[in-house]
Amino acid sequence: MTNFSELGLQEDLLKAISDLGFESPSEVQAQAIPILLEKDTDLVALAQTGTGKTAAFGFPLIQKINLDQRHTQGLILSPTRELCLQITNEFQNYGKYSSGLRTVAVYGGASITDQEKQIKKGAQIIVATPGRMKDMLKRGMIDISQLAYCVLDEADEMLNMGFYEDITDILAHSPKEKSTWLFSATMPKEVSNIAKKFMNSPKEITVGQRNVSTKNVSHEYFLVSARDRYNALKRLVDVNPEVYACVFCRTKRDTQKVAERLIEDGYNAAALHGDLSQSQRDMVMKSFRNKQVQILVATDVAARGIDVDDITHVINYQLPDEVEIYTHRSGRTGRAGKTGKSLVILTKSELRKIKQIERIIGQNFTEESIPSGEEICEKQLFHLVNEIKETEINPKIDAYLPKLEEMLIDLTKEDLIKKFFSVEFTRFYNYYKDAGSISKPSASERDFQSNERSDETRFFINLGEKDGFNWMQLKDFLKETLDLGRDAVAKVDVKDSFSFFNVAKTDEPKVMQIFENFTYQGRNINVEITKDKGGRGGGRKRNDRKKSGGFGKRRDDNKSGFSGARKGKKSNVESSFNRRRSKKK
């Protein structure tokens, strides 16, 4: 195993590394640091988040810049404000003994003049989101004429978020002689385009296999009827008493709805999506980070850049529209050498996506059953037993011992154990005793699709791969042409000469109007409403007869027993339960 001291790093950085408690370099650090230190070169590194890539470019960058000069020499572009702040914070730790180092974060949603002032004071390194960076360059607030190093961090995520033009603009306006270091978890065409266009014979390193999600993550799916989706989520949470999870939903509305239901049902949950203000988002992230919130329900866009170690589970409440995004979701767990699980709750109509995802991640899913009430009660009970066994005895309890013994004198040891654990066990038992099981959908339910998408219209468009589009490019093209906002276009499915996409029903007239007499590269573009609302491509129609009922009695385990207890007077039992749920780990 390599040591940090063998990588060519200076003493001040080695001292900071020792303070950080990093014992040995991670794979990407062991590979990248010597290359970057040896000479000025371009680099393409394929590495997942959580592999230690910030330090892989951070240490060489700090070592290479001239700390006696105050002008900007290094620029790091990263997809979100959250990530910018994290990188800046990490750099402060890395540069603890590198006197004179100033790193400034630049991102949207905060005062641009304050950021300008910070930079004017001298910043050898700027960590920026592409949009704000471009804006400040345009306004002459930042001078990058002497830039020597440019890092593109999480390049695929930046492009997913539609930053292609901003990035290419920034690169085009920076000195040609600089070195560019590109870090990306995957290598879609847009990322390799940037590498081709702006980089000079880059060295390439790959950590693990290309596009393969981290080996520390196992993938499981749970087949349910659409109507059982929420209850399935609750069971997956309940069967994992130490859960610290990120739950992903497809839309902002579903994210809010699921979080609200969880909160109502007594869970420490919170929503994170683009309709929240920046300060609300910051608050949610702070609570999640310090584990006051155990379940973060998020959209893909809002969750980008979440860099929280210790997440035990990623739960895909719904699969993403574009299966490629699954890798980003599952990469939120299994970080910093820990293991994690990525769970998918899905209906039969989504099953085919699992095969596509397996191809992308190079790993197989296992199909699991939603746990029964009995299993959950047992798990919770034994978890409590272990917690009690591990609890440190508070010496102050000694003073009460004689009285306690007197009060409990009539109870045998067996009774005492039974009564003590019933306090917790009964709550779960009462909730689950009549809840029945959540089984796989039966064959007769095969064509049932949830009405989650009934508020969207699916369109056909006669543009496809032949016209040079992949799903990401077509999504960008549609978003730009329709001007409907970031999350407005969904379920883009590109075929050879045509494609499909969804937008909200309310935007249907606008889509039809914009594409009336629309031409693309001299060709008439034809956009039509398709009958299919759900799966990719055209095809199966929703079975409305089945949708309107006919599946028998709806199981009523929506309301949790916990919430029932919560509504009445707060019992001792309940407050003990609350404490357990909200305790900081």
- Minimum distance of ligand AMP from residue 66's CB (angstroms): 25
Nearer Cβ to ligand AMP (158/271): 158
CB of 307 to ligand AMP, least distance (A): 5
Task: Say whether residue 129 binds ligand AMP (CB under 6 A).
Answer: no
Where does residue 15 rank: exposed (0-12), middle (13-18), buried (19+ CB within 10 A)?
middle
- Of 1 and 393, nearer to ligand AMP (C-beta) is 1
Least gap, CB of 79 to ligand AMP (angstroms):
13
**Minimum distance of ligand AMP from residue 185's CB (angstroms):** 10
Site for ligand AMP in 286-315 (CB under 6 A): 307, 309
DSSP 96-125: TTSTT--EEEE-TTS-HHHHHHHHHT--SE
From residue 208 to residue 247, the character string flagging contacts with ligand AMP as x (rule: CB under 6 A) and all else as - is: ----------------------------------------
- Give min distance, CB of 50 to ligand AMP, in A: 5
Footprint of ligand AMP on 5-64 (CB under 6 A): 22, 25-26, 29, 49-55
Query: Which of residues 49 and 330 has its CB atom nearest to ligand AMP in the complex?
Result: 49
483-490, Cβ contacts within 8 angstroms, sequence gap of 24 or more: 484/510, 486/162, 486/274, 486/301, 487/251, 487/252, 487/274, 487/299, 487/301, 490/250, 490/251, 490/321, 490/456
> Least distance in Å: CB of 156 to ligand AMP?
14
What is the DSSP code string of 362-392?
A: T---EEEPPPPHHHHHHHHHHHHHHHHHHPP
What whole-number distance in Å separates Cα of residue 459 and Cα of residue 530?
A: 5
Minimum CB–partner distance for residue 202 and ligand AMP (Å): 20
22/460 with CB nearer ligand AMP: 22
CA distance 410 to 419: 13
d(CA 269, CA 284): 10
CB of 43 to ligand AMP, least distance (A): 15
Site track for ligand AMP across 330-369, x = CB under 6 A:
-----xx---------------------------------
* Rg of the Cα atoms in the chain: 27
Q: Within 10 A of 114 (CB to CB), how many other CB atoms are there?
A: 9
Between CA 50 and CA 338 the distance in angstroms is 10
Q: Applying CB under 6 A, what is the total number of residues that bind ligand AMP? A: 15
Determine contact, residues 98/12, Cβ cutoff 8 Å: yes
* Residue number with CB closer to ligand AMP (53 or 458): 53
Nearer to ligand AMP, 66 or 92 (CB): 92
Q: CB count, 10 Å around CB of 292? A: 13
Contact residues: ligand AMP, CB under 6 A? 22, 25-26, 29, 49-55, 307, 309, 335-336
